[in-house]
Structure 1
Amino acid sequence: MKTTALKRFLSAAMISLSLTSIGVVQQASADAILHAFDWNYSDVSAKATEIKNLGYKAVLVAPPLKSNAANSAWWQRYQPQDIRVIDHARGNKQSFQTMVNALNAQGVAVYADIVLNHMANERNAATDFPGAAAVSAYNSNATYWNSQKLFGDLTQGIFGSGDFNPANCISDYNDVWQVQNWRMCGGGGDTGLPDLNPNNWVVTQQRNYLTSLKNMGVKGFRIDAAKHMTAYHLNQIFTSTIKTNMYLFGEIITSGGAGNVEFDRFLSPYLRDTDHNAYDFPLFQHIRNAFGFNGSMSSLVDPQAVGQAIDRFRAVTFTINHDIPLNSGFRAWIMDATDEKLAYAYIMGRDGGKPLIFSDSTGTDSNRWVNAYKATHIAAMLKFHNTVQGQGMEVLAHNSCAILFRRGEEGVVGINKCGSQQNFSVNTNSRFKWYRNYRDVLTNGNLVYINSSSYIFALPARTARMWLPE
């Protein structure tokens, strides 16, 4: 969008108490995903019924592969030693299958976090995987390791030196060639993560891996580090057979939407050149800006229209994900706790995208996100979200402090980021169920009863309301 057009849009959006209507449109598939980040597979299994009863429709789980089982650090799960077996500090193939069965029995899909871009940085920069010692261990305890096997012949390795790109470290993260063909390295002489080359052998093994997981009952894949893979590589791996009845979404971290270098060079081409879904980092950054100092809630009327959200049919929306608190380079993106709660009301109340709820096992930030999946406000928001599925969205009123929108006649969302109450007078004709109580699920109170053509919605300071008719 041209700058002048963008200014005109934002100027119009700032009109206090305006009754801007986006219109009632087809609802995107928006089932909520629990990101059980670095949970033990057995813990997910044990909570399968609870997860279903809370209203989740899918669970994203730790990467099913072989990594260093003696190291419980979360990042170890993203350092693959072998994709032919499942064995790491959070479980093995048996516990993974038990978890998949338990969730599928509850009608909850399992999405597997998968790492296809690289292998582990270990053994003095070795490029033979899983390495001679691991193969020897396989052979010496064949009964156990064959029971963890997904595919292949464990009497020999899977990848050798010819299966990797040159050992160059990325120096410019805005250079598309470097990012997609070179290694992610640390400082101090770190040789980086060996970057897999999309040759026929590599692609075949990766297809075998995904097919094996699908055959175990997995219903979707999160593609880690998708920003670092070419569209050619991704499209070679994900055949139509693998993609059928599967939900795929990639991780392409950006600091903005249209006009942002990372968006224009990485996320936009990814969406153009594949049919996969993606984390909606543009929307996340737009939400952060709206809640920030000098930000306006009016900017949340229709972010996609100004290039600050991806297609709602392809978006995984979030207010926090694991990369943000657990990587020093992104920690500045952590929102104030109250703002994060209000932002959840926005992504759980709006039309479009699959909202992802991050529930952490690492205990970072004084356990801030441990057990977040069942927090009182999240449970209430899931109830609202699932109730209004299929209902269109109309923004009823907005200003710099607050936004109010409805989901058909079945729900109303109000969010006020400011320190003073905001009141919106709304024309109710053909918009609400009259002579019925609308109850706020977040407080189990704050009733709204409409019996005339005008109603004043009151939004207290620093508060969200999510009303459903009784």
Structure 2
Amino acid sequence: MKAKKLKKMLFLIVLSAAIGLSGFCFSGCSAGKKTSETAEATVYYGLEDNIQDGVILHCFDWTFKQIKEALPEIAKAGFSSVQTSPAQASYKGNSAWYFLYQPNGFYINDSGLGSEEDLKELCAAADKYGIKVIVDVVANHLAGDHSGIDSTLMPSKYWHNYGSLSDYSNRYEITHGDIGMPDLNTEDSYVQNKVASYIQKLKSDGVDGIRWDAAKHISLPSEGSSFWSTVIDSDMFNYGEILGSPVDNNASQAASLIEEYAKYMSVTDSSYSSTILNAFTNGKVSLKKGNWTVHSSVPANKIVYWAESHDTYSNHTNEGGWTKNVDQNIIDRAYAIIASRNGATALYFSRPSQTDKDSILVGEQGSTHFTSPEVAAVNHFHNACNGEDDFYDTDSTYNTAYVSRKSGAVLVLGSDANQSVSVKNHLTTPGTYIDEISGNVFTVTEDTISGKIGSTGIAVFYKVDAEKKGSTSSDQ
């Protein structure tokens, strides 16, 4: 019998050196038991049924078969969802990644990731693990060479003719200008129905969510377009790529626009994500608590964060691809903060083996660093503490950023490692805990959180609610 879809898909994993996870304890545990617990303890973690409640592994350029084969490791690492690159028909060959973002139309074709049947098989297999599948969709534009695109979309009425986008302070230009490829007339009902039909096809194949590429370049209802109200399937998870702001140099208009986008989908907050990473890159911690959640009325449960994205890694450095030069451990420190927040989901990027834009090829599986103890521990924390209030704070004495939740905390050093800290406790239940990454003991009182952060510069501890231990995914 097919595995039951539970609100919490709980996995019981026996601790082993192979995955490098350390035990934890809470109030009532004895620090003297740490050695035996580290060797024999079990770790519980729940994969969230709602994509927004969990965290997402971006399997950038992986084939559908590669993702399918990695599902056991993805589940163990605590990722509730995987995101694929675009499945739309595009140039196929020994092609660079960006050709997938120059599609020929709104239909599935093997452009290097696999066939439609491969996608169906991935979705069916992922469902057994309680993992959801998100597919990247390019709807703002098609390939520049119109000789290869869907012939029904060739007439000029289906295209904007504004010219190249150059002024990001001009909202009309943002939504009607070309961003390297000819811009589709997304206000047109025929174009909208083409996109909507493609979304329904993906849904029928088992896809659970859509990532909308270049969403800020597609008009909103307040701007005279019914695109989003037509194409969005509210039964699926949707999130839009909003790089920077929907419009520059106009804070009130930007806030109004992002709030409207959030009525239809979750939205990326690349500005706050970059703020957190920039601080760690400079060996410091950020004092800022958010961007869209602070400067607009977008709630945390409509936000998507990342430490790095495919754009910040895979483009040339002068095109914004700067994180390729940032050490993975610094990326992980930023991820530890953004992925431990309540409400928001976070995207973890599987880095390609190559760094040059033209050498990053479709179909080549990326890094498996997502299985590392520090990344997995953050994900387990995120799942275990779902729904609990959070409090983000920093401590200048210890150069530490941390997120305090009722059931535990995540602490990250701005630089260095193997350092004892004592910071103010805001929400965490007093008790004795074990850092899942290092096995170090942390003591929590009403006033302080104290312990030694290990070699990764990240510490994660939490307790699991007894109610979350009662169900597993083994019901076949």
Calculate the TM-score normalised by the size of structure 1.
Answer: 0.75
What is the CA–CA distance in structure 2 between the aligned matches of 1:175 and 1:356, rounded to whole Å? Answer: 29
Larger radius of gyration: 1
Shift of 1:89: 1.4
What is the CA–CA distance in structure 2 between the aligned matches of 1:347 and 1:413, rounded to whole Å? Answer: 10
What is the CA–CA distance in structure 2 between the aligned matches of 1:163 and 1:381, rounded to whole Å? Answer: 45
Select between 281-290 and 231-240 the one with higher mean Cα deviation.
231-240
Gap runs ≥5 in structure 1: 1-26, 132-156, 186-191
3-state SS of 2:79 partner: coil
User: 2:301 is matched with which residue: 288, 291, 313?
Assistant: 313
What is the CA–CA distance in structure 1 between the aligned matches of 2:253 and 2:447, rounded to whole Å? Answer: 49
Shift of 1:283: 1.4
3-state SS of 2:440 partner: strand
Asked if 2 retains the 8 angstrom alpha-carbon contact of 1:358 and 1:369, the reply is: no
Q: 2:95 maps to which residue?
A: 72
Report matched runs for 1:276-425 at 5 Å. 276-291=265-280, 293=282, 296-297=285-286, 299-301=287-289, 306-307=294-295, 311-328=299-316, 329-332=319-322, 335-361=326-352, 363-364=354-355, 370-395=367-392, 398-399=395-396, 401-408=399-406, 410-419=407-416, 421=419, 423-424=421-422
Asked if 2 retains the 8 angstrom alpha-carbon contact of 1:103 and 1:110, the reply is: yes
**Paired letter, 2:400:** A
What is the CA–CA distance in structure 1 between the aligned matches of 2:352 and 2:394, rounded to whole Å? Answer: 39
Q: 2:176 maps to which residue?
A: 181
Select between 328-337 and 195-204 the one with higher mean Cα deviation.
328-337
Asked if 1 retains the 8 angstrom alpha-carbon contact of 2:441 and 2:452, the reply is: no
Asked if 1 retains the 8 angstrom alpha-carbon contact of 2:104 and 2:142, the reply is: yes
User: 2:219 is matched with which residue: 227, 230, 233?
Assistant: 230
Q: 2:123 maps to which residue?
A: 100
Is residue 160 of structure 2 the alignment partner of residue 130 of structure 1?
A: no
Q: 1:246 maps to which residue?
A: 236
What is the CA–CA distance in structure 2 between the aligned matches of 1:70 and 1:262, rounded to whole Å? Answer: 43
What is the CA–CA distance in structure 1 between the aligned matches of 2:71 and 2:224, rounded to whole Å? Answer: 31
3-state SS of 1:63 partner: coil
Aligned length: 402
Shift of 1:304: 5.9
Q: Identity rate of aligned residues, in percent? A: 22
**Paired letter, 2:226:** Q
Is residue 458 of structure 2 the alignment partner of residue 464 of structure 1?
A: yes
**Paired letter, 2:101:** Y
Q: 1:117 maps to which residue?
A: 140
**Paired letter, 2:320:** F
**Paired letter, 2:66:** D
Shift of 1:177: 1.6
3-state SS of 2:346 partner: strand
RCO higher in 1 or 2 (8 Å CA, sep ≥ 6)?
A: 2
Task: Label 1:402 to 1:271 Cα distance change in 2 as closer, same or farther (>3 A).
Answer: same
Q: 2:41 maps to which residue?
A: none
CA deviations 1:295-329 (Å, max 9, x no partner) are 554x1456667539953111111100100021232
Calculate the TM-score normalised by the size of structure 2.
Answer: 0.74
Shift of 1:33: 0.6
Task: Label 1:72 to 1:276 Cα distance change in 2 as closer, same or farther (>3 A).
Answer: same
Task: Label 1:242 to 1:399 Cα distance change in 2 as closer, same or farther (>3 A).
Answer: same
